[in-house]
Structure 1
Amino acid sequence: MLLARLRAHLRRRPPSSAPEEGPIRVGDLTVDTSARRCLLAADEIALRPKEFELLVVLARHAGVAVSREVLMAQVWDENWFGPTKTLDVTIASLRRRLSEAADASPHTLTLPDITTLRGHGYRLEAFPPGPAPRTGHDVPPS
């Protein structure tokens, strides 16, 4: 069993010769994986290790549904024997920390939402649900 856990950790760890991934930006949120920092605009948010790892996985797949099984395997371990309620508690804590940081900021920020997909998992969305932001290509000709 110990050997299986070691193999799982080695699979998740990037090779030492691989270049470090740059910061991930979703709305006004920046997740810098190489420095293990999370910034909302210019303000750093203090996250617990599992909250940070969970945010990294969700940010890398922003806008895409990520299953509970994938999150548990990538953030905890594929051999995790505890309850999956741990994921729900960590998501709630992460949402609270992001919300508190946004409320403390004097600026109007685009805070990504973490949407619960009942029976499947979660999705990190850059923009709140509702009409999609318009781009120059969406504007009808006058």
Structure 2
Amino acid sequence: MLLLIVEDDDHVASALTSVLGRHGFDTVRARTGAQALDALAREPDLVLLDLGLPDTDGFDLCRRMRQRFDRPIMVVTARTDTRARIHGLNLGADDYVVKPYDVGELIARIHAVARRSAPRAETGTGTRTAGPIRVDVDTREVTVDGRPVQLTRKEFDLLALLARQPGVVFSREQILSEVWSTHWQGSQRTLEVHVASLRTKLGLADAVQTVRGVGYRLRP
């Protein structure tokens, strides 16, 4: 998943790029509005847009980007007043995040916005693939190189979530929220057991990769 970071502050951009990289996102950075418009040719999956740019008004850039770009735009800014939030959303932003933000919440918001904006086949029905792994969300069937794999309900839900965006890291908190509908930290052990069982049943020890201190991702 490629994210376009529109941010003129080198320190902020560097820190954000590092965090997003650890969560499995690819990034491209633009320092100005002009660079941001040019970077749309890279076809990013989502834009993180700071409003304080040296060459243009951030709101105007948001409007111009929305005219030529149909994928999610998230405003990430220090502007906290309600009128600014409303104006940004009315111009076409899909979300509005105020600095300083919690990194975990930002990642969760990126996933949420991407999920809402994804084609139906990626969010609710259809087939998801990652290498030899094929996940049919409609029939709840899984195959590895054509070999059927029998999973429990939670194992399937976990695999289907990770297969939504292979290579992207899903935090433990997000997995627990979406698969187990809980945020109780005591459920972490349950998650670890299901991951271990999933690896065994898939017959691919490195298919579900652990990202220390963050969560898990499906090897693309």
TM-score by length of 2: 0.42
Find the aligned partners of 1:54 and 1:88 in 2 and give their Cα distance.
Answer: 11
**Gaps in structure 1 of 5+ consecutive residues:** 1-17, 103-110, 127-142
Alignment of 1:130-141 (within 5 A): none
Relative to 1, partners in 2 of residues 1:32 and 1:112: Cα closer, same or farther, differing over 3 Å?
Answer: farther
C-alpha contact (below 8 Å) 2:128/2:135 kept by paired residues: yes
Counterpart of 2:218?
124
Tell me the CA shift for residue 56 of structure 1.
Answer: 0.3
User: Which amino acid letter does the alignment assign opposite residue 146 of structure 2?
Assistant: A
Letter in 2 for 1:118: R
Q: Call closer, same or farther: CA 1:79–1:116 in 2, change over 3 Å.
A: closer
Q: Of 170, 176, 181, which residue of structure 2 is paired with 1:72?
A: 176
4+ runs deviating over 6 angstroms: none
Instruction: Report which structure shows greater RCO (CA 8 Å, sep ≥6).
Output: 1
Corresponding residue to 2:144 among 25, 40, 63:
40
1:108 maps to which residue? none
- Whose helix fraction is larger, Structure 1's or Structure 2's? 2
- Kept in 2: contact 1:54–1:75 (CA 8 A): yes
Q: Which residue of 2 aligns with 1:96?
A: 200
Could you tell me which residue of structure 1 aligns to residue 127 of structure 2? 23
Task: Show structure 2 runs of 5+ residues with no match.
Answer: 1-119
CA deviation string 1:1-32 (max 9, x = no partner): xxxxxxxxxxxxxxxxx775211011111100
> In structure 1, what is the equivalent of residue 155 of structure 2?
51
Q: Flag the 1:58–1:69 CA change in 2: closer, same or farther, 3 A.
A: same
- TM-score calculated relative to the size of structure 1: 0.63
Tell me the distance in 2 between the aligned counterparts of 1:22 and 1:112: 25
Q: Which structure has the greater CA radius of gyration?
A: 2
User: In 2, distance between residues paired with 1:120 and 1:79?
Assistant: 15
How many residues align? The count is 100
Q: Decide whether aligned partners of structure 1 residues 28 and 112 sit closer, same or farther in structure 2, where only a CA change above 3 A counts.
A: farther
